[in-house]
Amino acid sequence: MLDDQDDIHPLFHGAPTTPAFKKLRKRLVRAVREAIETYGMIERGGRWLVCLSGGKDSYTLLAVLHELQWRGLLPVDLLACNLDQGQPGFPATVLPEFLARMGVAHRIDFRDTYSIVTDKVPAGQTYCALCSRLRRGNLYRIAREEGCSAVVLGHHRDDILETFFLNLFHRGQLATMPPKLVNEDGDLFLYRPLAFVAEADCEAFAAAMNSPIIPCDLCGSQDGLQRQQIKTILDGWEAQYPGRRQIMFKALMKAQPSHLLDPTLFDFARLALNDGDIGEKPWDTPIFGGRD
């Protein structure tokens, strides 16, 4: 079905017809569908606020979700949304013109969070944390105003891995961005359907589709970001050991509470002799020559 260029959502019209792009499109659709099914994201009759930044990831998210909806595989209503945060020089007409041309229902909302961030954050510090909180709060507001049941973000597999290592190295926590959660007020879901998608595939898709990319010149322009440092480390590992990112991502899906150290996740005090269910496992043996 995916090979039929006449049976695609308008967002894919004009797409390359090369075998490489067809494989990429199939891989993206399959990965997003798998994430949606794995984490139970579909609420029949639901309405999703699909958040667009104008970056490669959000263009990929928008296209694949509409492709799934087009094929009857995503029985929810989709509303694209861009929050114009008042950054100087932001090309405010790019996304509305693109969305109108593609026939995508959308809302553009303006809130000058830029001035708040630059006023509150001391010189030399990164804007990401405050900017993200303000953006998230406004997206929740818009979702409520539009009667949406979920806010949908374009974070991909690599974002999730980077966040895991940021929490590990800088916060001393084993935590990352979950594919699905409920907001603090308990009235909205937050979904990340690109959870199984590699950043490289988003980049390849956006380039092949000539998506009108809008760069982030707020946080993205600051040097020395911790996330960029983590990305550099992961890039080095991937170059030396191809496939390492996917292996690490799979590890996030196979946590073994009995083989970590958190007594709130596993009752070590209850551990008893001859308990085969929680006894020694094959992975107890070090694979890199560890010593007792």
pLDDT, tens digit (0-9, with 9 covering 90-100), for 7-40:
678 888 889 999 999 999 999 999 999 999 999 9
Phi, psi of 27 (to 5 degrees): -65, -40
Structural domain that includes position 130: 10-247
CATH of the domain at 144: 3.40.50.620
Instruction: Measure the CA–CA gap between 141 and 126, rounded to whole angstroms.
Output: 25
Residue 289 lies in a domain: no
Q: Is the pLDDT of residue 224 over 50?
A: no
Residue 168 lies in a domain: yes
Q: Is the pLDDT of residue 262 over 90?
A: yes
Residue 273 lies in a domain: no
Average pLDDT over residues 235-260: 95
Mean of the per-residue pLDDT values of the chain: 87
pLDDT digits (tens, 9 = 90+) for 96-127: 999 999 999 999 998 877 777 777 777 766 76
Residue 2 lies in a domain: no
Residue 108 lies in a domain: yes
Q: What is the dihedral of CA 172, 174, 179, 180, to 10 degrees?
A: -90
What percentage of residues in the chain have a pLDDT greater than 90? 67
CB 146 within 8 A of CB 49: yes
* Strand pairing class (106-110; 77-84): parallel
Q: Radius of gyration of the chain from Cα atoms? A: 21
Instruction: Measure the CA–CA gap between 24 and 22, rounded to whole angstroms.
Output: 5
Instruction: Measure the CA–CA gap between 192 and 58, rounded to whole angstroms.
Output: 11
If one counts the domains in the chain, the total is 1
Residue 23 lies in a domain: yes
Q: Name 83's bridge partners.
A: 109
Residue 292 lies in a domain: no
pLDDT digits (tens, 9 = 90+) for 63-85: 999 999 999 999 999 999 998 88
What percentage of residues in the chain have a pLDDT greater than 70? 87
Residue 267 lies in a domain: no
- With cut-offs at 50, 70 and 90, classify the pLDDT of residue 219: low
Torsion sign across C-alpha atoms 142, 66, 213, 180: positive
Give the pLDDT confidence score for residue 223 in this predicted structure.
43
| Global pTM value | 0.88
Give the pLDDT confidence score for residue 119 in this predicted structure.
72
Give the pLDDT confidence score for residue 136 in this predicted structure.
87
CA angle 249, 250, 256 (to 5 degrees): 115
CB 248 within 8 A of CB 198: no
DSSP codes joined into one string, 241-258 = STTHHHHHHHHHTS--GG
DSSP codes joined into one string, 77-98 = EEEEEEEE---TT--TTHHHHH
Packing angle, helices 199-208 and 157-166, rounded to 10: 140
